[in-house]
């Protein structure tokens, strides 16, 4: 198996990683960079537990090869908090109890973060559509959607007050 040396920026840090041709981005994050927040649910592009951002776009990292991110920017759930401070979105998830087992949560947060970046004021329906690729087996979607809406409302209020 050929080994490739790639350079990738992960959560703002430049990383130099040697990866086999068949290693997925998901495995590279977990096994090479110890970023285990990103979960392996199905390894088949079905559940969204492995969602990360590549150049700002959500992707299923189980369906992407590590070599494909050479020279690109990757954001994982570990990159959402800043200096130990949860993001507004993460805080809203805590407040709404939008987490039970938490297995889906990293992927849900990444998809919701991407939604709010491109559409700071999503409707409930737009939020549900943005999260359609993220399966949650235990919390149910109501609290998750409410948390996203709360984060959006707070961002708008902060902007008004600024």
- Pick one of 4, 9, 36, 40: the residue that binds ligand FES (CB under 6 A): 40
For ligand FES, give the closer residue by CB, 11 or 139: 139
Residue 104 found at the interface with ligand FES (CB under 6 A): yes
Residue 8 found at the interface with ligand FES (CB under 6 A): no
Contact 75, 69 (CB under 8 A): no
Shortest distance, CB of residue 38 to ligand FES, whole angstroms?
A: 9
- Pick one of 15, 31, 42, 87: the residue that binds ligand FES (CB under 6 A): 42
- Pick one of 129, 132, 138, 142: the residue that binds ligand FES (CB under 6 A): 138
Spell out, one character per residue from 58 to 87, where the chain touches ligand FES: x when CB under 6 A holds, - when not.
--x-x-------------------------
Contact 49, 113 (CB under 8 A): no
Residues that bind ligand FES (CB under 6 A): 40-43, 45-50, 60, 62, 99-105, 136-139
């Amino acid at each position: 198996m050929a080994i490739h040396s790639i350079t990738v920026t992960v959560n703002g840090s430049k990383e130099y990683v040697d990866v086999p041709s068949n290693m997925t981005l998901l495995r590279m994050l977990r096994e090479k960079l110890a970023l285990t927040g990103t979960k392996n649910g199905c390894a088949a592009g079905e559940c969204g537990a492995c969602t990360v951002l590549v150049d700002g776009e959500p992707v299923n990292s189980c369906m992407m090869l590590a070599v494909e991110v050479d020279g690109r920017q990757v954001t994982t759930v570990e990159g959402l908090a800043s200096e130990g401070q949860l993001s507004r979105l993460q805080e809203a998830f805590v407040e709404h109890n939008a987490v039970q087992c938490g297995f889906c949560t990293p992927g849900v947060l990444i998809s919701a973060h991407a939604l709010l970046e491109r559409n700071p004021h999503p409707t409930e329906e737009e939020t549900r559509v943005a999260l359609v690729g993220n399966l949650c087996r235990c919390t149910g979607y109501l609290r998750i959607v409410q948390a996203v809406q709360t984060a959006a409302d707070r961002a708008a209020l902060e902007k008004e007050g600024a």
